[in-house]
Each structure stands twice: as structure tokens, then as C-alpha cells.
Structure 1
Amino acid sequence: MAVEAGTQQERVAGRVWTVRLDPYGRPSAGEVRLSCSRPACAPHRISGGAGAGRKAAVEHVNIHLARIGEDGGPRGDASCACRAADCAWHTADPDAGRRGGARPTAARCGGAMVLALYADRVGRLWRIAEMCARCAAATPGCRVLDTARSTAPTAPTGAAQAAGESAGNGESAAGTAQAGRAALFSDTGPATAAGASSTDAVSQAPVPHARTASPGGTSRRTKRWGKIARRIVPHDLEPDVLRVELIELGDAFRTYQQRTEPDLALLAELHERKGRAFRLWADVSGDNSLHHEAKRAETAAQTTRETFHNRTGAPVDDAVGGDELAVEWLLTRQQAVHARTVLEYAQSHSPYPEAEVRLAVLMLTLRAARAGTGNVTGQDLASWLPDDAERVLERLVEADWVRLPDTVAQAMASLPEEATTFTVPALLSTEPRPLALGKTTRARISGWAQKTVGDRKIRKKKLGAATRLLALYTAAHTRPDGRLGHAEDGGLPLEKAAAFCSLTFDEVTEHTELLVTADWLAEADTAAGRLRGQLAGRILPLGGLL
């Protein structure tokens, strides 16, 4: 903006409102977080996925636009907000390199102050700003909504149209538009709305035409060089295929960062490509720091693949272009290892061998695994052991395996709002700790066991404690495809399953058939001393991922 330095200091700063959407929680939850840069706007969560989030964000933008219009629109005495951000919002001047000068800052600003709206193409960020006309025109995807008057206004100006078309999603904002002035796109030049006077149009300073990006999103200058991992790819890097690969990778990573939801399969592939490209770059240039960056990329690729495998149970290569539906496992592979450790602990530390006692020991152990204390309600106990909960709890108290603050009858009558706090002496903090479970891991395994024991079809058929223990054992020893046991073993040892459930070999066969009728197992076979079978499709998310 062509002003003297002394005058520039007296101008008020241009206002900026930034509204953005971010993923929140697990992708399957379908929630997004809406936040606004204005301190008075508290962030909040929105259910219904990215579509509902974009609709709410556009409505929020329209609210700000309406308030700006009520306050008189953009201020002619404000300084350019884009310049305050070091002109980082718009593309570089393509003529700067040919002129041989440094990137201009203040010299770029000029024209009237305008109220501009920018929306990114993926519908994740909206920015309202008071900026100069030149910066607005130089920002692809920026829409000019109103222009500051050069003289004192006779009537309030307004952000005349709603937040408009959300970039990349084809949605239009709901109508909080005010009459009198149409919103202007910087790439189409100024236009006067129907009904606006010609004197209003004349009083507006002309908005220069925007520089649009070339096909593919890169300018002529960036075809020869680019940036990746905060490094500039030299324009003369050889071989040429390496230079092109590095530039494309940098663009691909930046595009990935604009996604509303993560795609771990795609991210692992990008990291793997980056590792290969950086190793070749290091060999060509002799820069050892590039070898370090390549190793980091390879580690990131491996970690991303493991995370994807833990979440879905399928290798990344199988997920890319595959037709099978990925399973969202309740437990990660490492959490499944801890779950099997807890099952072994409950088997070896149960004061009595009966299945009812062992089931209660297992469930209470999961509640108290971290500090030796936990909370339980009568409803919990009754859901685990519908007919024997009080008798089993009395036996555990008599054996001093568990300690209660009150009587067993009071524990059985406790409600969720007044749960009974119990103590397991063997799990009290000692070194080394009997079960080294993190907070999240303990909660995940406890929830997994609760879902297994409380399965609706198992409850509907009123299956006993031994059958529920067998359900836990089979779920904890499952491959990603749902088959029981390791592939090389061909099933589970029948004697180990029988010992865990306090059953004989013949009884294991009977209880296995009960699990088949309850649609827990799709098929089962106990021949040759092995328990073979496969979890039913509805149970796959509870699999333990051997």
C-alpha cells in the first residue's frame, strides 16, 4: 500500500477471522472440531462427518460477515492483514525472478482496502480478512465481498453475500446475505450488484485481476524446483527423474495435510517413496544429512504400516486397491499381547479353580490392574455371573483375594453413582508390578473383556461362566483372518483351553458347540487334541490378533 512509513504506523491493524475444521477422535466416530480465531468463539465438536462440519463452518462464517456488515464493513484506514502475515497468503510474483530482485513485501500492497473471503479447496479452512485489493487479487480462491468507501459512507456497507461457495465442496452458504452489494470474486474483477447505484461502483477502487495457478497447481517457475521436508529441490538436480520425484512428493505431502481424515495406507506409501528418493539424493549430492532424513522416512513408513495393521488387522499392501472390507479391531496387536498376559495371570492367581471364580477374578483384575484398587457395581457382578455373583464374591472375600469396605450384600446393591471401591492386595503397587499396563491399555482390555462376556447372544442363551471363559480364550487367540491359533500350529491346544476354562476335553467340545449356536464361532472342530475354528463375522473386531 503506497503510504509513508510514519502514516503506516498510525493505521489500525487489519482484522482477520479464521474458521477451521479438524478431525476429532477416531475416524469411525465421524466427529470434527470447529474452531475460530476470535477469542469469543469457543471451539466445539460436530457430529455427522465432514459434510455437517462444513455446513456449520459456513454458517459460522456468515454470522461474522453479518456482524461485520452491521459494523460498517471493511475499514478504509486499516492496514493490510496479508502484509502483516508477510504476504504469505498469496502466490509469489512470477515476474520477481526475471527482475532479479528479492520478494517484495510492502511494494506489493496497493489499491483500496477490501473485505475478502478465502476458502481452501478441501473445505477445511475459511479466512475473512481486511486486506488490500492487490493482495486479494493475488490470492487464488479469494473472493472480495466488499470494498471500503473512499469517503464517509451515507449508509452502512455490508458483507453483502454469505460465505459463498466453499472451495472444493460445491456447497453454498445459507442465506444471511444482506441486500445492496454482491460479493466479488478476485478472479473475475469488480461487479455491481443488481440495484446498486453507479456512484457506489465508481467510488470503489478497481480490484486488479488475480494471477491464477497454472494447470496442476504449479507455476512455470515451480516446475523446475520445489520444496520437501523444508528443503529446496535444486532446479538443476540430476538425474531429472529424481528432481521430478522430489517435487511431486513435496506436493503430495502438502495435499495429504489438507485431508479431513487420515489415510494411513497412502501415508505409508508416501514415506516409503520419500525414503528411496532421499537416499538417491544423498548419493548424488554427497550430503550425509539426507541419509538421516531417508532413515527417518523409512522409520515413519514402518511405523505407519504397523499402526494401520493394528487398526485393521490387514497389511497395508493388501488394503491398497483391495476389495475386502478392513476390520477395525478393538485391540491393537500389542494390547492383545497384554490381554493374553492378564488371562494367564487370572488363571494362575485364582484362589479356586471353579470357572465362576476364575471369571470374577479376571474381570476384577482388569478393574484393579494399575493400582490394586477399582470400582464395581452390583449390576457389573450380576452381568458377569447372573446366578452366582454373591456366592462367588463371598468366597473371594473369605480367601482375602479381594477386600471390600462394606458387606458383600451392600456391594451387590451398589449403584453406578455409588460404586463399591474394592482392593486386590496382590495388585497393590509393588516392584516389579504384577501387571504393567498403561492407562489406555488397561481400559481397552477391560472394555474388550466386558464386550466379550456381555455379548448379547451369549446373554440371550444364558451361557454359563465356563462358556464365557472359552469365548474370551478363543477371541484372545485369533489371527487377523479370524482363524483360531497360529497358522503353523493349526488351532489351539485343547488341554490349554480346557485348563483355562476349568473343563475336561469332552466338556470343551460341548461348550464349543454352544458358542457355535450363539454365533460366536462360525465353525469349530476339536479333533486330534486341537481346537480349530473361526470367529463369526460379527465377532471379528474382538479378535486378539496373534
Structure 2
Amino acid sequence: MAVETGTRQEERVEGRVWTMRLAPYGRPSAGAVLLSCSRPACPDQRFPEGTAAGRKAAVAHVNTHLAHIRAGGGPRGEAWCACRAADCAWHTPDPDAGRRSGPRPPAQAARCGGPVVLTVYADRAGRLWRIAETCARCAAATPGCRVLDTAAPSPVRTASARTDQIRTASARTEQTAVEAAAQQQPAGGTAADGVAAVFSDRSPSPAADPSAPAAGPVQVPQARAAVVGAAARPAKRWGKIAQRTVPHDLQPDVLRTELIELGDAFRAYQKRPEPDLALLAELHDRKARAFTLWADISGDHSLRHEAQRAEQAAQTTREMHENRCGSPADGGPAVERLLTRTQAAHARTALGYTAAHTPFPQAEVRLVVLMLALRAARNGTGNVTGQDLTGWLQGDAEPVLEQLVDAGWLHLPGTVAEALASRPEDATAFTVPALLPGQPRPFAFGKTTRSKISGWAQKVLGDRKLRKKKLGPTTRLLALYTAAHTRPDGHLGPAEDDGLDLNQAAAFCALPPDQVAEHAGLLITADWLSEADTTANRLHGRLAERVWPLGGLL
């Protein structure tokens, strides 16, 4: 027996695995990626142009390996299952495991079976690709796994399977054999001595007919989701949502079913090619109600906290949907806005901070202070190029920078001339001492919001029609101020026909109030405002429809 076992192990070989991974390379801001392959003969490949080029190369690399495998005869029938060698960690747990009693059986006994197949797997994030020789049952249990080829049955494996099945059949009692035959006969097995072993591919066991020849090519089973229909499956009693396992005995049944369906719905939403914020807000609302009831039943305070988070997520998602895709009051077209309502409020905070903390009253200085403060809002440091500075102020950039450096508001590592000569690949790092972490924090927004607001201000100042008209810093500050104080229909001010306070608008732009009308007229000629009026000490007006996406909603 020992000799037989040793011979069998020597004749079997380990299943082959090829793994390709895509990982960031170098500085995260550079966007470069590194493609590596588990085969030592394959060198690493670097792609400075980004993830898309890396994924394209990864797919081509996978196809190259597949071509070599097919040229070498395809998958090997005598190979061990590579998934089994990894403790069957490549496929998800059995969804019925939650209602089993006692310890879970070993992965090998519960999963492995059927012929050897060649599979390819790609994760949903587009970062990992795997080619492997596995058994048909593990291939069917692995989500996203595709079977490309089936190995011809190995004579050693067929004989071993036949010997194992006969030994198992002879060890059973007559009653057990009859019951097994009665249960497995409808699945397609053929009884032999009262026993019919049925594999995952629904092919008869070699032990079923000792006189039958070696098994021919078999049909590989499809993934579990494609074989078992929803109508034939009983109601699920096990599931996960928000990294929590739904207890199989949770009562009432309607709550357990809702939680399981919600978990499936969130996972299905993540696979959508395009976002649907209205649907996502509805899912968060359902989650909040379900978790509140779950917390009431179980007394778990963490569930109630999760319900509150879901309520906030639903409200935020709904606001994003209204702000980005909502229609104006006059029934106009839908507008996808650059800033959400919350981000627009933070942008107005940044405008107010600039007006109160600019060391010099000139409009040129205020404009540069605003743009640099937005870049350094998080930790007091940022990067700027000469192209940025000259784009903001044309020929006035050098004296403005010298004023800020002399006043101590801005620190540069070199001279002002070097900062103006810096290029995007070698940007100048600057420091705003008033915004360093040790100082009081004037801004409460995070990294993403800071980037959004900075990009919004850059788009306003770099508007093509404002540049074409060669409007000065004062007029462009007024463009920023009007864009930050709009309603969904493009009108200025928080209430119907209320407009903006003329004195506050003039103070931000470093203008006398009686000169605001002149600069508002310049914005009309640049198609930034469609109308403007400064009567009754108010600035009434409306953004041109072309710049509605830049409007910061009040």
C-alpha cells in the first residue's frame, strides 16, 4: 500500500499558475504603474503613461502565456488542482455554510473534483490576472473565473479514481448504499453495486461500470450562478452587508431577507458601469431603516451608528444628485456641476478668508493669495509653476510675488525669477506660514474638497472667453465672486430677485461700489453674465448658461 501511494504521488504533478500583477510605481502623483509576472523569465515592465497602458500590456502578456500553453499541449490531466494547493482560497465560501451545524469540512473534501481545466481569472479592479490548472469544481466555484480548455483524462488519475470509488463503495453498509443510489440516480449517475458517485460535471463515476472504458472528454461545469437559477434556489439564509455577516437565525425573516438583499444590491451597484446617485440614495435609505430595526432587536449600538451613517450617506448622495444632475427652476436642461453644495460653501469660506488676510489691498495680490492659499490649504505647502503664475497675472506676477515674499506671507526655496522659470516637471515648492499645521486651521475641508475647489477656481480664471477679452484681475475676481453665489437657475444671490450685497462684492474685488457695474458689463461682453444690474445697492444678475456648471450653489 505504501508503494502504491508513493508511486501515485510521483506520477502526479503540481498544477501550474501564472500570476500577473499591476501595482503603482514611483510617486503616486506621477501615475506610473509596474507590471510583474510570477514567472522568473518574464521581466518587470514599467508604464509611465498610466494604468490604461499597463492593463493593455497585461492582457497581451496573458494572451502570450496562453498561446505558449496551448502550443505545449494545454492543461495536463495528471496535474494536481492549483486551487487546492492554495487551500481553496481562490473561491468564496459556500453561501449555505451559515446554516450548517458542526465544523466546516476541509476545503479539499468540499470543493475539489472533476477533470483538470485551464482557467483564467481577472479581478474586478483590473490589478491581477491569474492563469491556473485547477479542477472543474474549483473553477465553477470561483467568481469571474473562465474555463478555456479541458485536459484529456489521465490514465493514472482515472485508475486512481476507480480504485478509490470501489474502496468507498465496499466499505459502506447495504442501507447506506441503497440510500446513496436513490439520491444520486436522478443527477445522471449509473448505479453499480448500489452506489453511483456523481461529480460536479454530472458525469458518471468510473466506478459505476467496471467494464466501461476510460472516460472520454467531459463537459466542464459552469459557475454556480449560471447553473442554479433563482427560482430553483430556496431563500438565502446567509449573507453579508457592510462587512457584517447576517445571522442565519435572525428574526423576523423579513428583516433577514432585506439585509441579505441589500448586501447583494450594494455589490451589484459597485459593478455598474455608470453611477446612479438616485438609486444609491435609495439603497442607503433602505440600509438605514434595516439597521435601525436590527439594532432595536439585538441591542447592538454599533448597528445604530451604522444606521446613522447610512442616513447621512443618503442625504449627501441625494444632494450630489440634485446639485450635479438637477434641472433649473425654469425647466432648462440638466446641469452637471463641478462643485457640490457643500463644496461651494467651502469655496465661499476660502473667498472670505482671502479678503480678510491678504497683506496688500491690490486685486492682483488678492488673486494670487487666493490661488496659493487653495493649494496650501491642507498643510501650508504646495507646488506652483511659472505657467500658473503668468496665467493668473500675465506680466504682473514678478512684483506681486516679491511683495508677498517681502511681507513674509510667502516663502520660496529660491528667487522669484526661478519660480517664474519653473516648469511642470520641476515645479516650485512654496510655503504659506499662516497655513502650517501649528497655526489655527481656517479651513475644515479635506483633501478631495481642497482639490475640487482649487480646480474650480483655476477653471474660472482660465475661462477661454475671459482670456480672449484679456480681462484684468479685478474683473476676474468679480467672475469668481459671482460664480460662487448662484442659485440653480443661474441667478445671483440666495433668494428670488434678492441679488448680492454690492458693498461686499466690491470689497472682495478691491473696487469702489460705483465701479462694479462697469466690470459687470465687461463680464457680459465675455458671455460670463447674461444680465447685470446694480440698483438699490444690490448686484442683480445671472450667469450665462455656458458657465452654469461652474456655479457654486447657495
Fold match by TM threshold 0.5: yes
Structure 1 contact 114–148 (Cα < 8 Å) conserved: no
Structure 1 contact 453–472 (Cα < 8 Å) conserved: yes
**SS in structure 1 at match of 2:370:** helix
What is the aligned partner in structure 2 of residue 75 from structure 1? 76
Q: Provide the TM-score with structure 2 as the length reference.
A: 0.67
- Alignment RMSD, CA only? 5.2
Correspondence 1:130 to 2:143: no
What is the aligned partner in structure 1 of residue 542 from structure 2? 534
What is the aligned partner in structure 2 of residue 150 from structure 1? 154
Structure 1 contact 268–302 (Cα < 8 Å) conserved: no
Q: How does 1:135-534 map to 2 (within 5 A)?
A: 135-136=138-139, 142-143=146-147, 145-148=149-152, 150=154, 204=216, 206-207=218-219, 217-218=229-230, 220-223=232-235, 225-229=237-241, 230-232=244-246, 234=248, 237-238=251-252, 241-242=254-255, 244-260=257-273, 262-281=275-294, 286-289=297-300, 292-293=302-303, 295-303=305-313, 305-306=315-316, 309-310=319-320, 313-314=323-324, 325=334, 327-329=336-338, 331-369=339-377, 376-393=384-401, 395-396=403-404, 401-402=409-410, 412=420, 426=434, 430-433=438-441, 441-487=449-495, 490-534=498-542
What is the aligned partner in structure 2 of residue 169 from structure 1? none
Report the Cα distance in structure 1 between the residues aligned to 2:507 and 2:336, rounded to whole angstroms.
31
* Offset of residue 90 of structure 1: 8.2
Report the Cα distance in structure 2 between the residues aligned to 1:440 and 1:420, rounded to whole angstroms.
22
* Offset of residue 292 of structure 1: 3.9
Report the Cα distance in structure 1 between the residues aligned to 2:123 and 2:332, rounded to whole angstroms.
32
User: Measured at CA, do residues 383 and 217 of structure 1 come closer, stay the same or move farther in structure 2, by a change above 3 Å?
Assistant: same
What is the aligned partner in structure 1 of residue 117 from structure 2? 114
Report the Cα distance in structure 2 between the residues aligned to 1:465 and 1:122, rounded to whole angstroms.
45
* Offset of residue 79 of structure 1: 2.0
Structure 1 contact 115–144 (Cα < 8 Å) conserved: yes
User: Measured at CA, do residues 224 and 342 of structure 1 come closer, stay the same or move farther in structure 2, by a change above 3 Å?
Assistant: closer
Structure 1 contact 271–298 (Cα < 8 Å) conserved: no
User: Measured at CA, do residues 346 and 250 of structure 1 come closer, stay the same or move farther in structure 2, by a change above 3 Å?
Assistant: closer
- More deviation, 111-120/245-254: 111-120
Quote the sequence identity (%).
57
* Offset of residue 519 of structure 1: 1.9
Q: Deviations over 1:458-487 (max 9, x none)?
A: 110011121011011112223455432323
Report the Cα distance in structure 1 between the residues aligned to 2:410 and 2:217, rounded to whole angstroms.
81
| Structure in which a larger fraction of residues adopt helix | 2
Structure 1 contact 342–362 (Cα < 8 Å) conserved: yes
Structure 1 contact 90–138 (Cα < 8 Å) conserved: yes
Q: Deviations over 1:305-333 (max 9, x none)?
A: 425635872589x99xx99645142x454
**SS in structure 2 at match of 1:222:** coil
User: Measured at CA, do residues 91 and 210 of structure 1 come closer, stay the same or move farther in structure 2, by a change above 3 Å?
Assistant: farther
**SS in structure 2 at match of 1:223:** coil
User: Measured at CA, do residues 232 and 537 of structure 1 come closer, stay the same or move farther in structure 2, by a change above 3 Å?
Assistant: same
Q: Provide the TM-score with structure 1 as the length reference.
A: 0.68
Report the Cα distance in structure 2 between the residues aligned to 1:381 and 1:118, rounded to whole angstroms.
49
Report the Cα distance in structure 2 between the residues aligned to 1:242 and 1:370, rounded to whole angstroms.
43
What is the aligned partner in structure 2 of residue 170 from structure 1? none
**Gap regions ≥5 residues in structure 2:** 24-30, 157-199, 205-212
**SS in structure 2 at match of 1:532:** strand
- What code does the residue aligned with 1:251 have? D
Q: Deviations over 1:332-368 (max 9, x none)?
A: 5454344333322332333433323332333344455
- What code does the residue aligned with 2:234 have? T
**SS in structure 2 at match of 1:143:** strand
Q: Deviations over 1:84-143 (max 9, x none)?
A: 44487489699xx99999767544534432324568999999764322345556779853
What is the aligned partner in structure 1 of residue 67 from structure 2? 66
**SS in structure 1 at match of 2:132:** strand
**SS in structure 1 at match of 2:515:** helix
User: Measured at CA, do residues 480 and 252 of structure 1 come closer, stay the same or move farther in structure 2, by a change above 3 Å?
Assistant: same
- What code does the residue aligned with 2:134 have? M
Structure 2 contact 201–219 (Cα < 8 Å) conserved: no
Structure 2 contact 282–314 (Cα < 8 Å) conserved: no
**Gap regions ≥5 residues in structure 1:** 23-30, 153-185, 191-200
Q: Deviations over 1:519-542 (max 9, x none)?
A: 222333333222233333332333
User: Measured at CA, do residues 417 and 206 of structure 1 come closer, stay the same or move farther in structure 2, by a change above 3 Å?
Assistant: closer
